[in-house]
Amino acid sequence: MSSIKYVIKRSGAMVPFNPERITNAIYRAAVAVGGRDRSIAEGLTRQVVAMLEAQTPADQTPTVEQIQDVVEKVLIENGHARVAKAYILYRDERARLRRERAGKASRPSENIPWSKIWRVLDWSVEHGVHTVAGLNARLARGEFPDIVRETDAAYNEDIENAAEMIAARRNDLKIVIIAGPSSSGKTTTTIKVGMRLKHIGFNLVTLNVDHYFFDLELHPKDEFGDYDFETPQALDLQLINEHLTRLIAGAEVRIPFYDMKTGRRHNDHTPMRLGASDIILIDSLHGLYPDMTRDVPDECKFKLYLEPLLQMKGPGGKYVRWTDLRLMRRMLRDAAHRAYDPRRTLLHWHYVRSSELRNIIPQVHATDYIVNTGLPYELPLYRPRLLDQFVQWEQEYANDPLREDAYTRAARVRALLAAVTPVEDDTPVPADSVLREFIGGSCYEY
């Protein structure tokens, strides 16, 4: 047992020292560069702990920064240069994000599609839903059905624009990729785009990249036993790239099958070959991650990016965060379709957010078109479904230093939902709305 009992976090909070966190951080960095041997991470962790114990006086408590310095030193001294680089880059990225959250960023984020944002904001102002106060005023006038109709019309216009752009490149395209962060509406949008393309003569073949997950035992997990499925390295990117390259060259491949119940992948399972007029349709979190389609020529790919780009100011004059919308969407979807406790979704969200900030959102400017899936009318429907739970979580995690992320999100979303006029009746929401993907009642099968 280690002589080190506690660690001082950056916030100043003191938490129990858990070597498992070091192992997970090292293993995560190893996975990022292709490593899958957790026992190596465990051995390196023992060296880190030994070095910490040797250099930490008995009357002192190490900080997170000091521990990370030792991890870097141990990785480099043991010849794990590539893992050390991945670890250092991740550490630097986290530091940059902290500076941005503290308001110290020197320039606007490069990960925001400003041109699209201005168009969405203009629409929001025109329809009187650019503030929660404006939304509530329209709700008070009984205009909820009108807001639904206007919003869905704008979303469907984006779908039509995307389909027309794809059709204009039909002679060269072999793959259409629909990507975006968790709960951005990829499934419904994929169905809608697919229907429009089929109507104009495209022959679409879906490739489900979930079948390319590595076995569950190879995924990183945290000290709470929570597996991280959000990183692109959870997928066999090299095999996906190889199969796509062979498929567009006219060869047959055998797609693997991933058994979600057992957490194991079975290779060479399902034969697949493209016809002369076939186009592959991919719906994936990480569809834009370069390694997934590295050897597929750019002219053969159409890349569509989704994000709920809601432009609405909430409490305190701050814009509603897109990640909070997606968090609530995923809570409702996971509870309805996967029997997950919404609390589990909240506690897992730091993985979701960390991965998308590193691996998904930075790809936004590499896309051919962006679809806004933000719906002003979703907030009034979320309040009666979720507000009480966010109130409970805010209170429960207020003084838990291990759950700072959950507390911060719970407090922020609670304040937002409390400011919105609730709407209980969702019947004005059509069955083909992207919101039905999350609250149920869709005409599509998911």
Domain that includes residue 18, residue range: 6-101
Question: Exposed/middle/buried for 348, CB within 10 Å: 0-12, 13-18, 19+?
Answer: buried
The tens digit of pLDDT for each residue in 36-50 reads 888 888 898 889 888
CATH number at residue 163: 3.40.50.300
Of 76-85, 92-101, 364-373, the poorest mean pLDDT is in: 92-101
If asked whether residues 356 and 399 sit together in one domain, one would say: yes
If asked whether residues 51 and 134 sit together in one domain, one would say: no
How far from 226 is each of 102, 112, 344, 347, CA to CA, in Å? 28, 30, 9, 9
| Alpha-carbon 178 to chain mean position | 14
Q: Which residue spans within 19-83 are E strands per DSSP?
A: none
- Higher-confidence residue of 162 and 89: namely 162
The structure's pTM equals: 0.80
Question: Does residue 108 belong to any structural domain of this protein?
Answer: no
Question: Does residue 236 belong to any structural domain of this protein?
Answer: yes
Identify any residues that bridge with 264 across adjacent strands, giving them in sequence order: 259
Q: With bands split at pLDDT 50, 70 and 90, how would you rate the model's confidence at 312?
A: very high
Asked whether 189 and 371 are in contact (CB, 8 A), the reply is yes
What contacts 424, CB < 8 A, 6 or more positions away?
Answer: 384
DSSP string of 103-132, one letter each residue:
T--SS--TTS-HHHHHHHHHHHHHTT-SBH
Region of 79 please: left (phi>0), alpha (psi -120 to 50) or beta: left
**pLDDT recorded at residue 223:** 55
Q: With bands split at pLDDT 50, 70 and 90, how would you rate the model's confidence at 106?
A: very low
**pLDDT recorded at residue 226:** 66
If asked whether residues 92 and 170 sit together in one domain, one would say: no
To the nearest 10°, the Cα dihedral for 371, 100, 382, 420?
A: -110
Of 149-158, 176-185, 206-215, 348-357, the poorest mean pLDDT is in: 348-357
If asked whether residues 256 and 372 sit together in one domain, one would say: yes
If asked whether residues 311 and 262 sit together in one domain, one would say: yes
Closest by Cα among 310, 445, 375, 382 to 153: 375
Of 66-75, 155-164, 195-204, 384-393, the poorest mean pLDDT is in: 66-75
Q: With bands split at pLDDT 50, 70 and 90, how would you rate the model's confidence at 307?
A: very high
Domain end point (choices 66, 101, 136): 101
Average pLDDT, the chain: 89
Residues 379, 373: Cα–Cα separation, whole Å = 13
Q: Which amino acid is at 172?
A: D
If asked whether residues 143 and 214 sit together in one domain, one would say: yes
Asked whether 214 and 234 are in contact (CB, 8 A), the reply is yes
The tens digit of pLDDT for each residue in 166-180 reads 999 988 999 999 999
To the nearest whole percent, how much of the chain has pLDDT over 90? 57
Domain end point (choices 101, 129, 156): 101
- Both tokens of 4, joined, read 């080190």
Region of 200 please: left (phi>0), alpha (psi -120 to 50) or beta: alpha
Q: With bands split at pLDDT 50, 70 and 90, how would you rate the model's confidence at 105?
A: very low
What contacts 257, CB < 8 A, 6 or more positions away?
Answer: 211, 265, 266, 269, 270
Closest by Cα among 70, 71, 68, 63 to 8: 63
If asked whether residues 79 and 122 sit together in one domain, one would say: no
In terms of average pLDDT, the best of 5-14, 134-143, 168-177, 350-359 is 134-143
Asked whether 282 and 289 are in contact (CB, 8 A), the reply is no
Question: Does residue 243 belong to any structural domain of this protein?
Answer: yes
**pLDDT recorded at residue 324:** 97
If asked whether residues 186 and 256 sit together in one domain, one would say: yes
**pLDDT recorded at residue 225:** 62
Q: With bands split at pLDDT 50, 70 and 90, how would you rate the model's confidence at 94?
A: low
R_g of the chain, CA atoms, integer Å? 23
If asked whether residues 415 and 390 sit together in one domain, one would say: yes
SS3 string, 246-281, reads HHHCCCCEEEEEEECCCCEEEEEEEEECCCCCEEEE
Asked whether 135 and 422 are in contact (CB, 8 A), the reply is no
If asked whether residues 72 and 127 sit together in one domain, one would say: no
